[in-house]
């Protein structure tokens, strides 16, 4: 199976999927590349287009989960090292680069950021079901195979996700517009 063909057919959907789950473009690119490499080196097997897509997105989901786990382990190790360094350093965590290095993407549309944040705050399974169905436009059968759930469970998850997003976005924009009283 050719990684180039898979990239041509599924690349943009895979990238959207990974970006929504990982929140960082470079991490999403890495995970998509890892998933494509794993799929390309897998033993050949006859699959329909729907089965191929579900199989590929299952690989991608697993690679994204692995990435998150690695990040958690890395952060835990770094935080322990940072505490030790701060105890012996007069700077106590000040960074020479300053805040300018962290202002990347500041002009991103406020509503898109709020939606992305609201999606990220959904429970994992609910977020994945919502993203697969609404953003990636996968079929019910494909999503149920990937997430190993029933169609009824899928629709319940999507309904609850939409309801939570509606409430979350309503609260954020009414608060930012001064709609909430102190």
pLDDT tens digit string along 87-112? 343 333 333 344 443 333 444 467 77
What is the largest distance, in Å, between two alpha-carbon atoms of the chain?
Answer: 62
CB neighbourhood size of 58 (10 A): 17
pLDDT tens string for the chain (182 positions)? Answer: 677 888 888 888 889 888 888 877 788 899 999 999 998 888 877 777 778 888 888 999 889 888 887 876 776 666 555 444 443 433 333 333 444 433 334 444 677 778 888 888 889 889 888 888 887 777 888 888 888 889 999 999 999 999 998 888 887 766 555 544 43
Mean pLDDT of the chain: 75
Which domains does the chain show, CATH number per domain? 1-94 (1.10.1740), 108-182 (1.10.10.10)
Share of residues in the chain with pLDDT > 70 (%): 74
**Could you tell me the end-to-end alpha-carbon distance of the chain, in angstroms, rounded to an integer?**
59
Q: pTM here? A: 0.51
- Under 8 Å CB-to-CB from 65, ≥6 apart: which residues? none
């Amino acid at each position: 199976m050719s990684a180039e063909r898979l990239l041509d057919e599924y690349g943009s959907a895979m990238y959207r999927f990974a970006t929504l789950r990982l929140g960082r473009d470079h991490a999403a690119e890495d995970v998509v590349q890892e998933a494509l490499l794993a799929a390309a080196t897998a033993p050949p097997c006859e699959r329909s287009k729907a089965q191929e897509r579900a199989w590929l997105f299952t690989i991608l989901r697993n690679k994204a989960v692995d990435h998150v786990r690695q990040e958690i382990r890395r952060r835990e190790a770094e935080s322990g090292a940072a505490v030790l360094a701060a105890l012996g350093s007069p700077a106590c965590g000040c960074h020479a680069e300053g805040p300018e290095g962290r202002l990347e993407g500041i002009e991103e549309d406020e509503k898109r950021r709020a939606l992305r944040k609201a999606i990220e705050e959904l429970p994992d399974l609910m977020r994945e079901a919502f993203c697969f169905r609404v953003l990636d436009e996968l079929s019910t059968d494909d999503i149920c195979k990937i997430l190993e759930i029933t169609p009824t469970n899928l629709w319940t998850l999507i309904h609850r996700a939409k309801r939570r997003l509606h409430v979350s976005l309503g609260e954020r924009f009414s608060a930012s517009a001064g709609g909430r009283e102190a």
